[in-house]
Structure 1
Amino acid sequence: MNQENEKISFTEAIRWQGRSWKVLGSLCPSLFISGILYEVSNAAIPLVEVWLSARILNELVSERDPRILFRLVVIQLVSSAVLAAGRALLLRWKNYEEAVCSQGVEKIYIDKMIGMDFENIDSQYVYDTYSQICQSDNWGGWGLKDSIYRTAQMAGQLARIVGGVGLSVTLFASKVPVDGGYGWLNHPLCLVVILGILLFVTLFSFVCSDKANGCVDKASGEIMLSNRFFAFFGNMCTERERAADLRVYEQQENVCNPYMERMDMFRRGGVLAKTFAGPMGLWNGLSASLSAILTGAVYLFVCMKAWAGAFGVGSIAQYVGAITSLFLGLTNLLRSLGVMRFNAAYLKNTFAFLDIPDKMYQGSRPIEGTADNRTAAGKGLPDQPASNKEFEIEFRDVSFKYPGSQDYALRHVTMAFKMGRRTAVVGMNGSGKTTFIKLLCRMYDPTEGQILLNGVDIRQYRYSDYIRLFSVVFQDFVLFALPLGENVAGVKDYDRERVKECLEKAGFSRRLDKMPDGLDTYLYKDLDKEGVEVSGGEAQKIAIARTLYKDAPFVILDEPTAALDPVAEMEIYSKFNDIIEDKTAVYISHRLSSCQFCDEILVFDQGRIVQRGSHQILVADTKGKYCEMWTAQAQYYQDGEQKFAPL
């Protein structure tokens, strides 16, 4: 990031800041208002108090009129109380808006992720860019959130400058009596010297501050890396799924702790500590010393004019406070501009993520049956396709390479899914099975060739319509820490009887009867301490039930019984036809014995379909890939005779 900062000019930084204002202004306009008002009030209150204090002191050393003193004291007390109360209310408002806006900023990233092409989500660049955004926000609050804070802070500094100028004008306008020997204080050159010292110290103080910020910025890469290591290795012991491995292999002592010990960024004597105690501390110390020198010069000048009779003693407090406020306002404003430039690199990274283009054409052609001709089974899921609608999908000479890869994951795949048929997809790891499914679900578009739906290229159809044609149980499916019924239906308001029916078909009815709150029982304990833990096999049944509830024409099952015991697996397969009904089913499996019920089996090898046919036909081809895999698996289940039999 420090290399980026060195390249970013103030003009470019202002452009990135302006863009962040546009985004945040539409997201949380009240935060800008509350933040600016709070910072302005924070700047104005000391100036009001010092002005009133000066009036009281001047009255005490001159006329000492009780009525005037009483009025000034009352005004001082009332104004202090009102301003303090107002500042407290503004602070409360600002804190509330910050909390709301913080969630809004997170939603910006969430919406981007959800709306992003799967190709982008699946890329390393997107992962790395988003990870950098999170790390920058974690260690320094850089990015969009800093942009909000910096805007309000600069408004407060401008208020300090305006107030300081307003209260110090009379300092230079007040004339010293010429007969007292201090007439030279009225000379314009004296004013030039004082203002010159003020500007010199302000600018030099800014340079010192900029150098100090630069010291931290140079370590930003190491800080983010350290944060990433701390976040990963420091939290491993709290992750339930890692608990067993951590203990059995003593990973906490042998892996986590050594990494944590090597990352000395935040330790005493580490890089950050040396930075703060070394060059950064020196630059900040020099800046503070200059501020003290300026304060001394101001005191000297003001006291000399007061001694010479230009104004009363009470005005000393006013003028010193005003000049100090003016100096701090100028210095902090310049510092904020400097930090804004540093933050521009992080904003640039943020918008690089938000500007990632979605290249996949979403299509405009509606799919007949997805809006008007839908079944009641899809209650709670709007615009469901009718499950009995005739949909035929054809791969026509399809080849595919993953973005950035020179190798083909699929080559010249040609086949068609016949409506209502069961198709198994088998092959060794890396043979192209998962890629084939990703193309079928249009997570990627083919590099070459076409995928047709009822004779029309799927890219012409509305993407939202096309994706509704599929119910999928992915191998790495996820259940949410929500009630069981919502996990199955995918929505909050759903058809409870339909959910129970789907769970029963998936073989989950016995477990459902033991759930303390039935369909309202929370899964896991993330959101409910009474949540129920489910086994891997039970979770897989819930995922199958979720697939059935969607009631889409195409059902894709990627190793749907991998976590089931043999009895449960047999239970699923024995009534598979009843579960799938009239839908077209695509089944991916490594267990070839469980593919025997399918009408057709596609055998993938090195990205191509090398065989296709029924189990009987393929196993009879002793030189084929399928027979080779069948024989390799069968040896583990044979004891003198073949133990496989059709289900």
Structure 2
Amino acid sequence: MNLRGVRELHRVQKSYFPLLTVKCIFEAVSPYITVFFSAQVLKELAGLRREEVLWNWVIAGTICICVLAIINAFLKQRHETLLNDLWGRKEILFIHKMFSLDFSELDKQENHDLRAQIKQNENWASWGLMRSQRAYERFVTGMIGMISGITLTVTLFTSPVPKTAGRLVILNNPIFILIFAAVMVGISVFSGKLSGIAQKSWSNYADFATLGNRLFWHFGFIGLDKKRSVDIRMNDQQGLVAAYWDGNSVFGVDGPLGKMFMGKMGIYSSMGVCMTVLITGFVYVFTCLKAWAGAFDVGSVTQYVGAATAMIANIFAFTELISLMETNTSYLDKTFEFLDIPNAMYQGSLTTEKRSDRNYEIEFKDVSFKYPGSDVWSLRHVNMKFKVGQRLAIVGENGSGKTTFIKLLCRLYDPQEGQILLNGIDIRKYKYDDYMDIFSIVFQDFQLLCQPIGANVAGNADYDRDRAYKALVDAGFGERLESLEKGLDTMIYKDLSDDGIDVSGGEAQKIAIARALYKDAPFIILDEPTAALDPIAEAEIYSKFDDISGDKTAIYISHRLSSCKFCDEIAVFGEGQVIQKGTHEKLLEDHAGKYYELWNAQAQYYVEEV
């Protein structure tokens, strides 16, 4: 599981892990090289004390250590740069997944909750993908360190004590050596296990800690939220925020995490460190006894003690790493559960015909639909047919199924019953992207990006400037565009640019409509994008839009019936069904119908137009 985490991270940053491997090798080997040269100098000082030999060892050691220090410094700096880059680039994995998901999956709250949980696990203790990076780093360092340590300490056990050493000759006994080596490795492993248990104790508080982290990020920065500033001041909500600050002890000394550090986790961590120190003491005793008995000189003592101590530390870290990887697996399960969410919608194979005459016909044929996890039908037995060039209005009360109808039309969802046909063929048989290309939509909750106006209209950094300009003019934004010094290159909002502009709600709606016009699709849909405007202003925008939509099929969804009088047909939705269809005049003739009821209920708002 951790290996897959490394592979996923490598996909988004190809340079990081090769450099990390080289860095780990140099870092792991460096202490042993220092120990080796120090030992050689001490050997010569304790032995023949030859000046030329001493100078050779000192010069060679100094050069090697200096070169290693320079290399390590360069690798460390480069590593920190790439690591910071990797933290950001790992989000590409999730962004690509979000982009590739069927809307039906993306719309599920449980998938958003899963992503939020992954994010919180990363925020509070870096569990998940980035722990895989740490695991890889510690694995390489530990393996190289242990191999280097064994290389420099093997002669500690094989160097014989002279037979004249009396009782210390027992140090030559293979059984004694085997027992001592086993105890040294065993205690190192056991101390690593204790530290691993401490890591698991930390993980056991994950749910509590992630909740605390969510509260911190919400309340800790709520004062910087421009959208909330008025409410906070006018309703004196500072007291509510202060109550959190005063009462939250999730990460405080007296909180459960603080108590855990002073309790079980602290005890196991301390025991692990103490046992490591204990076995280091045994190594000192064993090495000094062999040196005292004449097995080797004082210089070798430095080499063996330094190498053995470093090897013990690496065994400890390697064992602790195994526990860390086991703990991280449960967090990676969540990560890969998200990254492996399958797309259930059938991807058709037929190419949507790009007709020059835009002669398309859409038919809903006994369509019924309910959202996943719901037992309530949002649409029931809907039958409707319309062709390119028509103006269709969809009206009805909240929850009547208007937006659901559009989601099915655009194949954001597939119906559980019935068929939706394009030119007589089930839309599920068309290539998904091809089918989506025949629709331009402006939703009620449309979003503009903090990017240049032209890029917002085109949805791309590279675009046809003349076409974008015409779309903005047709949408009624031409006068404002002419007043902007940078024109199409003017940045919207100030999040990413100091010279960005803020646009009003009406201006934002015009840019969104221009975006729909730029796409130049045969079907264009307005799903209440002007709901925030007054009824008369909305009617004016719809009337203008009717003029510029040309030969396209225009579908309007609105609560306000006055805005839709010009349409060729009006479909009235009620409780998920089409309960009335006809022109404005025809529907008003039915005094018992829902349309007549809605019209008279709203008449006071658009009396100027009657």
The residue aligned with 2:405 is 436
Match of 1:73 in 2: 58
Cα 1:409/1:262, change in 2 over 3 Å: farther
**Structure 1 residue 399 corresponds to structure 2 residue 384:** no
Native 8 Å contact 1:306 1:312 kept in 2 = yes
Shift of 1:215: 1.5
What SS does structure 1 have at the residue aligned with 2:441? Answer: strand
State the Cα distance separating 1:191 from its structure 2 match: 1.1
CA distance in 2, matches of 1:633, 1:332: 73
Does the 8 A contact of 2:157 with 2:177 survive in 1? yes
Aligned in 2, Cα 1:500/1:567: closer, same or farther, shift over 3 Å? Answer: farther
CA distance in 2, matches of 1:297, 1:162: 21
The change in CA–CA distance for 1:406 and 1:49 in structure 2 (over 3 A counts) is: same
**Equivalent residue number for residue 236 of structure 1:** 222
- Quick one: distance in 2 between partners of 1:411 and 1:566? 30
One of 425, 437, 448 as aligned partner of 1:468: 437
**Deviation per CA, 1:232-274, whole angstroms, max 9, x where unpaired?**
22233222222222222223432x3334444321122111111
The Cα of 1:494 is off from its aligned counterpart by: 2.3
Letter in 1 for 2:506: G
- Map of 1:452 onto structure 2: 421
| Structure 2 equivalent of residue 225 of structure 1 | 211
CA distance in 1, matches of 2:81, 2:66: 23
AA of the residue aligned to 1:332: A
Q: Secondary structure at the match of 1:510?
A: helix
Q: Which runs of 4+ in 1 moved over 6 A?
A: none
- Secondary structure of 2:127's counterpart equals coil
Preserved contact between residue 379 and residue 401 of structure 2 (Cα < 8 Å): yes
RMSD: 1.8
How far residue 139 of structure 1 moved from its aligned partner, in angstroms, is 1.5
Q: 1: CA distance between counterparts of 2:3 and 2:530?
A: 54
| Paired AA for residue 180 in structure 2 | I
Give 3-state SS (helix, strand or coil) of 1:586's partner. Answer: strand
Q: Distance in 1 between matches of 2:500 and 2:603?
A: 41
Match of 2:47 among 62, 66, 77: 62
Given candidates 340, 357, 373, the residue that maps to 1:355 is: 340
Contact kept in structure 2, 1:507 and 1:571, CA below 8 Å: no
Q: Distance in 1 between matches of 2:300 and 2:391?
A: 93
The partner residue of 1:602 within 571, 577, 580 is 571
- The one-letter amino acid of 1:84's match is A
Deviation at 1:597, TM superposition (A): 1.1
Partner of 2:450: 481
> CA separation of 1:569/1:633 partners in 2, compared to 1, >3 Å: closer, same or farther?
closer
**Equivalent residues in 2 for 1:169-188, closer than 5 Å:** 169-181=154-166, 182-188=168-174
Unaligned runs of 5+ in 2: none
1:520 pairs with one of 453, 478, 489: 489
Contact 2:442 2:526 in 1 (8 A): yes
Q: Is the 8 A contact 2:535 2:605 kept in 1?
A: no
* CA shift for structure 1 position 636: 5.1
Q: Which residue of 1 aligns with 2:293?
A: 308
Task: Tell me by how many angstroms 1:573 deviates.
Answer: 3.6
Does the Cα contact within 8 Å between 1:634 and 1:644 map onto a contact in 2? no
- Rounded Cα–Cα distance in structure 1 between residues aligned with 2:534 and 2:489: 27
TM-superposed deviation, 1:629: 1.1
**Residue 487 (structure 1) shift:** 0.9
Contact 1:157 1:329 in 2 (8 A): yes
CA distance, structure 1, for counterparts of residue 42 and residue 342 of structure 2:
66
Q: CA deviation at 1:449?
A: 0.2
Q: TM (normalized to structure 2)?
A: 0.96
Q: Percent sequence identity over matched residues? A: 46
Q: Please tell me whether the aligned partners of residues 481 and 526 of structure 1 are also in contact (alpha carbons under 8 angstroms).
A: yes
Answer whether contact 1:540 1:563 (CA < 8 A) is retained.
Answer: no
Q: Which of these residues, 197, 200, 216, is aligned with residue 183 of structure 2?
A: 197
Distance (whole Å) between structure 1 residues aligned to residue 466 and residue 73 of structure 2: 54
Indicate the residue corresponding to 1:13 in structure 2: none
Contact 1:36 1:153 in 2 (8 A): no
> How far apart are the structure 1 equivalents of 2:50 and 2:190?
46
Query: What corresponds to 2:316 in structure 1?
Result: 331
Instruction: Report the secondary structure of 1:491's partner residue.
Output: coil
Give 1:339 shift: 0.4
Inter-partner Cα distance in structure 1 for 2:320 and 2:256 = 24
Q: Which residue of 2 aligns with 1:127?
A: 112
Distance in 2 separating the partners of 1:237 and 1:627: 48
| Paired AA for residue 365 in structure 1 | L
> Residues of 1 paired with 2:573 and 2:82: CA distance?
56
In structure 2, what is the Cα distance between the partners aligned to 1:604 and 1:496? 40
1:112 aligned residue: 97
**Contact 1:167–1:319 (CA under 8 A) maintained in structure 2:** yes
Q: Distance in 1 between matches of 2:378 and 2:123?
A: 38
Distance 1:165 1:221 in 2: 42
Query: Is the contact between residue 525 and residue 532 of structure 1 (CA under 8 Å) also seen in structure 2?
Result: yes
CA offsets 1:288-315 (integer angstroms, 9 cap, x no match) = 1111211111111111111221111121
Count of aligned pairs between the two proteins = 609
Maintained 8 Å contact 1:396/1:414: yes
The counterpart of 2:30, out of the listed 26, 33, 45, is 45
Contact 2:19 2:75 in 1 (8 A): yes
